[in-house]
Structure 1
Amino acid sequence: MKLSVLILAYNHEKFINQALDSVLMQQVDFDYEIVIGEDCSTDNTRDILSGYQQEHPEKIRLLLPEKNLGMHDNFIQTFKECRGKYIALLEGDDYWTSPDKLQKQIDFLDRHADYTICFHNALYLYQDGSTKCFLPPDNWKNTFTLEDILSSNIMSFASIVFRQGFIQEFPDWMYDINFVDWILQILLAQHGNIGYINETMNVYRIHPNGNWSSKTQIEMRLEILKAYHYIENYLDSKYQNK
């Protein structure tokens, strides 16, 4: 299996159709699977996904836990079910905009064996319909490193495709952090460079029910400070004897 598309879904009935359709529209020359962690939504998300799975049983694997796992365990359980050489990320309230997105990113990683991640720009979509393009701080660079991403989270979750095989277990302290994508990036960037494609190929929705966008500025800053504390301790202990 060349690629697994990892989708996290929870109470996304308003958005999940667009998310899945944006995956199914991808034009690729390789085999891929769609692995969806549906975390016991209280709306119709699970029913919608079951319908898609019945229409595409050869493509979609739907994980249906009996109880709500929470963001961290849902991600980890879904991650462990992915069989692809590469993994692409998508949350159920976001979507991809280019039918060539996956082909371009897989081609890049196939050509660059020393790169662990490939990402691109994202378009932020606000509730009032306004948009803003999210670019990395040095968008003129084609390559980023661990040092670059330690300064800030420069990648939208749905823009990331990464190489499998570097993460066997996630650190316990990740459960105390309210976002898993930045931690994932840091774990992967220890093993290789990060490739950047200067194209906007996904939409990230900013809405009141979003896991991150629903927080106040103070809550966000406190979460980031806590993350830096854990990351600093983790990297110091990992590299202090090298």
Structure 2
Amino acid sequence: MRGIMMPLFSVIVPCYNARESIVRCINSLVNQTFQDFEIILIDDCSQDDTYNLIKEYIKDIPLDIKLLRNTHNAGPAYTRNVGIANSRATYVAFCDSDDWYESNYLQLMHNIATNQSADIVFCNSRRVFSNGKHMPLNNIYGIPKNGLVKDILVTGVDSLGSIIVKRHIISKYNIPDLRNGEDMAIIPVLIANSKKFGFVEDNIYNYYYSGDSLSTKVSPQVVDSLIKSFAFIEENLDNHLNRECEYLGVRNVMYGALLNTFKVTYQPSVATNIIKEFETKYPDWSNNQYLNLLPRYKKVFLKLVKKRNFFGIWVMAQMHTVSLKFKLV
């Protein structure tokens, strides 16, 4: 009967060289207290035996599971889009192969989604380090729970693992194929195309931070991806959301891209070009009303950007790297 009825959730799990973590991820789904969901696992042409491991492991699992395989290595965005195209549930949820859900993730998301007829439900998450330490990520703290789209649009939620979204909304878009920042690109677009929102305050998504994952490697390509993520937002937001769009640009470009620029190396000329291009479109960005939502260290960083204090920016970029490494010790 489960195969005939449409499940409430499709949980999409992109996999690449995930033999060390995928069992933990799958087990977190098996142990969900809410069981009306399908699992879509997509192997992105792993170079290890991830595909065969999954194929054997799921044989005796009494859940609705699809195992798909890309014809070529295409990256996480493409792989997630394959999952969306093959989903059939009311809501789409995401879990990366090295991450995992708390056992009540789907139950709590379901409760809010159904009680509030929400198009998107957000939750808090936690960053778990390889040494066992963890840090709560309270992305939805301070968001007005009855807020307008504009209020929700400027949230700090930047991970698809921290949301569920109605399939008919996300199916309208392809998640942009970026090295970094595809979540940051698509989530504001999903918010702008939704009407009702729900929130789970609990930290129920576990984001594993090993220090060497794709999302943590710094390179010029990462900087380029963050800039392109904002370009995707600009292309897909209506003009009446211009100030909100500007704020997202400050977050993605003037903070994210410039931070990573100076993590690569000290390169003020590159930073100057990034700032100049952004200020051509948004000359009044430093007076954006939403900047007060940022934590203090980001406000300090942006003041340095405004003053073109590139040495100060470089120092803060190095401190950011050290602080993350310190948590791995």
Q: Tell me the TM-score normalised to structure 2 length.
A: 0.63
1:15 aligns with one of 21, 36, 49: 21
Q: CA deviation at 1:91?
A: 0.4
Aligned 8 A contact 1:142 1:197 in 2: no
- CA deviation string 1:53-74 (max 9, x = no partner): 3223752100012321222211
Q: What's the counterpart of residue 177 of structure 2?
A: 175
C-alpha separation between the residues in 2 aligned to 1:37 and 1:67? 12
**Cα separation, 2, equivalents of 1:167 and 1:156:** 14
Secondary structure of the structure 2 residue equivalent to 1:87: strand
- Find the partner of 1:63 among 54, 59, 68: 68
- Determine whether 1:203 maps to 2:206: yes
Cα pair distance change 1:223/1:176, threshold 3 Å:
closer
**1:110 lines up with 2:109 in the alignment:** no
Unmatched runs of 5 consecutive residues or more in structure 2? 1-5, 243-329
Deviations 1:24-80 (A, max 9, x none): 10112x532101111111122112211123223752100012321222211111111
Higher strand share: 1
Matched residue pairs, number?
Answer: 235
Match of 1:45 in 2: 50
SS in 1 for 2:106: helix
1: distance between equivalents of 2:225 and 2:147? 24
Instruction: Judge conservation of contact 1:144–1:195 (CA < 8 Å) in 2.
Output: no
**Do the aligned partners of residues 227 and 87 (structure 1) sit closer, same or farther apart at CA in structure 2, a change above 3 Å counting?**
same
| Secondary structure, counterpart of 1:154 in structure 2 | coil
Q: Distance in 2 between matches of 1:134 and 1:207?
A: 16
1:157 aligns with 2:160: yes
| Aligned residue identity for 1:204 | Y
Distance 1:230 1:3 in 2: 27
Secondary structure of 1:48's counterpart equals helix
Deviation at 1:83, TM superposition (A): 0.8
1:86 counterpart = 2:88: no
The one of 112, 122, 137 aligned to 1:119: 122
Residues of 1 paired with 2:127 and 2:112: CA distance? 24
Give the counterpart letter for 2:14 in structure 1. Answer: L
Aligned residue identity for 1:6: I
Amino acid at match of 1:226: K
Distance 1:156 1:73, change over 3 A: closer
Distance 1:168 1:162, change over 3 A: closer
User: RMSD of the alignment, in Å?
Assistant: 2.8
Which segment drifts farther, 52-61 or 62-71? 52-61
- The Cα offsets for residues 146-165 of structure 1, whole Å up to 9 and x where unpaired, read as 43454464143322211121
AA paired with 1:230?
Answer: F
Higher gyration radius (CA):
2
Which consecutive unaligned segments of at least 5 residues does structure 1 have?
Answer: none
- Counterpart of 2:233 (choices 224, 231, 234) is 231
What is the aligned-residue identity percentage?
22
- Contact kept? 1:53, 1:61, Cα under 8 Å: no
Show the counterpart of 2:80: 75
Question: Residue 6 of structure 1 contacts residue 36 of structure 1 at CA under 8 Å; is this kept in 2?
Answer: yes
Deviation at 1:169, TM superposition (A): 3.7
Distance change >3 Å, CA 144–CA 221, structure 1 → 2:
farther
